[in-house]
Amino acid sequence: MPSLDETRPFIPVGIAVLTVSDTRSIEDDRSGRTLIERIGAAGHRLAARAIVTDDVEAIRETVLAWSRDPAVDVVITTGGTGFTGRDVTPEALEPIFERRMDGFSEVFHRISYDKIGTSTIQSRATGGVVNATFVFALPGSPGACRDAWDGILRQQLDYRHMPCNFVEIMPRLGEHLKRGGGKTA
């Protein structure tokens, strides 16, 4: 059963939040604000925040730049994971993933199903690794951001979470890059 090992230190990580929207501004970005509040409450650092339009290149450029920044350990995007013509976040991110994290999407949908039922199939939430940086693409609703953070990311980004967590493997994410076996986007 998962637990918190209080003998281990809490290790804060740097998290960047990218809102993907044609209509939002910093002032009315409720999903981004939801994530930022939870990041701070958990004891992590907000490393960067931005809003870009639903544009493959704008999304990809921002995430790639953040993935090269040593202050950024994790990128969380919100928005653009649906099926409409402007929803292009998975198309922007999945081609640059060095490793896909299929389990993230599966667990997100399980949590979401318990709250909104079959409507969860309208999300293409995804996760992966880019330049040794974890990247998660969440739907653009505050509820979906709460579900993903509270149900998955809060635990996995806490070094004390057992039996395993993302923080303990962060130093090893770039091993394939050192061997020359991976791409650097």
pTM: 0.94
Work out how many domains the chain is built from and give that number: 1
Let me know if residue 78 belongs to a domain. Answer: yes
Let me know if residue 126 belongs to a domain. Answer: yes
Q: What is the pLDDT of residues 19-68, one digit of tens each?
A: 999 999 999 999 999 999 999 999 999 999 999 999 999 999 999 999 99
Q: Residue 132 is part of a domain; what is its CATH number?
A: 3.40.980.10
Let me know if residue 143 belongs to a domain. Answer: yes
Let me know if residue 117 belongs to a domain. Answer: yes
Judge whether 85 and 148 are in contact, CB under 8 Å. no
Let me know if residue 133 belongs to a domain. Answer: yes
For residue 126, the enclosing domain spans 3-175
Q: What is the pLDDT of residues 129-185, one digit of tens each?
A: 999 999 999 999 999 999 999 999 999 999 999 999 999 999 999 886 665 544 445
Angstrom distance (rounded) from CA 67 to CA 63: 6
Let me know if residue 124 belongs to a domain. Answer: yes
- What would the two tokens of residue 69 be? 């920044």
Let me know if residue 96 belongs to a domain. Answer: yes
